[in-house]
Homo-oligomer: A and B are copies of this chain.
């Protein structure tokens, strides 16, 4: 059995020992910059934990695990261009530190590098890992495009929102777990179960992020709350409030979310008061808990000794009860 901290450390050590240098420097320096920032390394961690769950050799799994981390960082670099975001993880974004052209091209380079890493996995399963990475990469692009579309749509449904976060966030967690299972040679049924575990965990994670963004403790969350409201992000909280609100409150919600993006304390306070009036936080927390419980059921359904599942169960719990 392995420990999560040990896995995270081995990923960070591995990435620190990789060279992403190359010429021209403008293309490769941003890759080193973003990959050296650390972060939770959630995707490669889940990938290695899934490999270990099915008695695979996690050393064999390190290369595809790192490929998923490079892929994830590619999405961040391109998303930050579209959001014109100056900061991420408390550091300047590539877009802001260099330029949008450089972020575009070095992002492209990271996407290609992610695929190139997969080529360095064992040939026994490199094809399957490649296919999974292609599939999920398309889905993540689709999720991001839906997210962009929602910015200018008034009539997004709750189902459409859930489908968007499934594509934008959850499928990648499902796929990294499945890739770990592929490397370990797990059965199709077990691959499916661990994938579903990741989907449900991803939904839990994203809904919790939405809640934190409104109600997180600034000291622990590390950033000011109300970011999504300032950006007019139509999260589940907003859409649920819109569904439940009376006509007057609905009008306020719609009007305030048509304001130009930007921080406005009065707007944030008004919106949060409406959320409270309709008990929206509890409703979303309940939904999030359902996803969490479904993820545990997926884990239960896996045909392997219970004790091997403990680390993933604890990791899921850690994500569920985290406060940032």
Contact = CB atoms under 8 A, between A and B. Distances in A.
Interface in A112-138: 112-113, 115-116, 119, 123, 126-127, 130-131, 134-135, 137-138
Contact of A142 (B23, B126, B145, B149): B23
Contacts of A126: 127
A144 interface: yes
Interface stretch (A34-42, A101-109, A293-301): A101-109
Instruction: Give the oligomeric copy count.
Output: 2
A142 B24 contact: yes
Nearest to A99: B148
A104 B116 contact: no
Contacts of A112: 111, 134, 137-138, 141
Contact of A130 (B22, B130, B137): B130
Given A78-B104, A104-B78, A126-B127, A27 B134 contact: no
A130 B104 contact: no
A146 interface: yes
B115 A134 contact: yes
A81 interface: yes
A26 interface: yes
Given A27-B142, A145-B27, A104 B81 contact: yes
A299 to B, nearest CB: 30
A41 to B, nearest CB: 23
Contacts of A82: 101, 104-105
A141 B109 contact: yes
A224 B324 CA distance: 58
Given A81-B104, A127-B123, A138 B116 contact: yes
Nearest to A75: B108
Interface in A1-56: 22-24, 26-27
B78 A108 contact: yes
A138 B131 CA distance: 20
Interface of A: 22-24, 26-27, 78, 81-82, 101-102, 104-105, 107-109, 111-113, 115-116, 119, 123, 126-127, 130-131, 134-135, 137-138, 141-142, 144-146, 148-149
Given A78-B108, A105-B148, A108-B111, 7 more contacts: A101-B148, A105-B144, A105-B145, A109-B138, A112-B137, A119-B131, A130-B130
22 contacts: A24-B145, A24-B146, A26-B149, A27-B142, A27-B145, A78-B108, A82-B101, A104-B104, A105-B148, A108-B108, A109-B138, A109-B141, A111-B112, A112-B134, A112-B137, A112-B138, A113-B138, A116-B131, A116-B138, A119-B134, A127-B127, A130-B130
